[in-house]
């Protein structure tokens, strides 16, 4: 019998837990949300995707000694509610104007803009509530559970994802420097990835050293994720990606436009090495996180 770690099996098992938690999160909204909005919520949330943010949260929790439970997956799914809202709003005509997402019509293309705005917006407080409640179920104190939800909300807000979205819109049609590009993506994509690791660590009661090493890992992997995203946008196609490559159309600066394809690949690998080093220096034994760092830059979509 081989004891080798299989990322494929790991991803499949964790994804199943995440899907069930997302179904519970949507079911919980059923009594309070009008049917047309609920249909849009289902479309945006229960529509596939890699589910990487919740999986990072679960992997961080496991790396800190925690064991799998339904409440852990509820906590992890709160990250995906925020991610789902961000994609629904990001695809709107006033943002990136994208009609294809995850290989099918984006939510506004299928359901309309007004209902997509409302469905996306209601996911933000739903995610905050879900994160806090799951924290309490994991036997965190009230203050600890609030802090876990606070980490999620800060990462989603002006100092994180929404702030990064503004930098992104402001940067269209302009050649950004590498410092500006890093700043944009540390906010827009990186903040939620860092929060994924931090929420898992906090929920598991990690000590300061483990928390710090997982934060450093998340920061490096978050940027590596975006460099890989830019490479895929420049080299792949809509059928493989499940969305239209759009950076050139929207005249966005990317790691590929800045440095060329080869140098972007070198940067992505260097960031993966930084991420693994952060784990080693923190004494965090986590084969899943090691393998996930490679996956982030090796993926095809």
CB of 65 to ligand GRG, least distance (A): 27
Least distance (Å) between residue 289 CB and ligand GRG: 16
Nearer to ligand GRG, 100 or 270 (CB): 100
Residue count (the chain): 301
Q: Of 86 and 290, which has the nearer Cβ to ligand GRG? A: 86
By beta-carbon proximity to ligand GRG, the closer residue of 17 and 49 is 49
Residue in the block written with tokens 């469905």: 119
Instruction: Let me know: does 192 contact 80? Beta carbons within 8 Å.
Output: no
* Closest distance of CB 239 from ligand GRG, Å: 15
Rank residues 140 and 156 by Cβ distance to ligand GRG and give the closer one.
156
Q: Closest separation between CB of residue 134 and ligand GRG, Å?
A: 20
Smallest distance from ligand GRG to CB 266, Å: 20
Residue in the shown chain whose Cβ atom is closest to ligand GRG: 49
- Exposure string of 54-85, with b = 16+ CB inside 10 Å and e = fewer, is bbbbbbbbbbbebeeeebbbbbbbbbbbbbbb
- By beta-carbon proximity to ligand GRG, the closer residue of 136 and 167 is 167
- DSSP class of residue 252 equals -
Burial 197-210 (b: 16+ CB within 10 A, else e): bbbbbbbbbbeeeb
Which residues, other chains included, contact 57 with Cβ-Cβ below 8 Å and sequence gap of 6+?
75, 76, 79, 196, 197, 199, 200, 203
Interatomic CA distance for residues 5 and 3, integer angstroms: 6
Return the number of the residue (108 or 135) whose C-beta is nearest ligand GRG. Answer: 108
**Cβ count near 30 (within 10 Å):** 11
Footprint of ligand GRG (CB under 6 A): 49-50, 52, 83, 86-87, 89-90, 95, 102, 161-162, 165, 188-189, 229
Whether the CB-CB separation of 88 and 116 falls below 8 Å is answered with yes
- Least distance in angstroms from the C-beta of 161 to ligand GRG: 5
The minimum distance between CB 147 and ligand GRG, in angstroms, equals 22
Nearer to ligand GRG, 50 or 104 (CB): 50
> What is the DSSP-derived secondary structure letter of residue 300?
-
- CA gap 147, 155 in Å, rounded: 12
Dihedral sign from CA coordinates of 68, 284, 10, 128 = positive
């Amino acid at each position: 019998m081989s004891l080798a770690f299989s990322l494929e099996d790991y991803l499949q098992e964790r994804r199943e837990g995440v899907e069930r938690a997302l179904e519970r999160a949507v079911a919980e909204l059923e009594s309070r949300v009008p049917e047309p909005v609920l249909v849009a919520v289902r479309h945006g949330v229960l529509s596939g995707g890699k589910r990487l943010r919740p999986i990072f949260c679960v992997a961080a929790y496991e790396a800190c000694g925690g064991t799998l439970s339904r409440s852990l997956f509820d906590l992890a799914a709160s990250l995906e509610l925020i991610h789902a809202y961000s994609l629904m709003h990001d695809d709107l005509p006033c943002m990136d104007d994208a009609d294809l997402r995850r290989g099918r019509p984006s939510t506004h293309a299928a359901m309309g803009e007004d209902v997509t705005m409302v469905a996306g917006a209601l996911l933000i407080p739903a995610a905050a509530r879900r994160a806090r409640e799951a924290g309490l179920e994991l036997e965190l104190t009230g203050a600890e559970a609030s802090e876990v939800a606070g980490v999620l909300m800060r990462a989603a807000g002006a100092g994180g994802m929404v702030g990064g979205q503004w930098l992104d819109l402001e940067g269209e049609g302009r050649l950004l420097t590498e410092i500006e590009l890093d700043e944009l993506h540390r906010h827009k994509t990186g903040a939620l990835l860092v929060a994924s690791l931090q929420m898992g660590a906090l929920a598991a009661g990690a000590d300061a050293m483990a928390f710090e090493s997982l934060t450093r890992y998340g920061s490096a992997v978050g940027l590596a994720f975006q460099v890989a995203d830019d490479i895929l946008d420049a080299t792949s196609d809509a059928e493989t990606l499940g969305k239209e490559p759009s950076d050139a159309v929207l005249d966005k600066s990317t790691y590929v436009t800045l440095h060329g394809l080869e140098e972007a690949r070198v940067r992505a690998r260097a960031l993966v090495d930084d991420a693994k080093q952060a784990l080693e220096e923190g004494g965090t034994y986590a084969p899943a996180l090691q393998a996930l760092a490679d996956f982030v830059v090796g993926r095809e979509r």
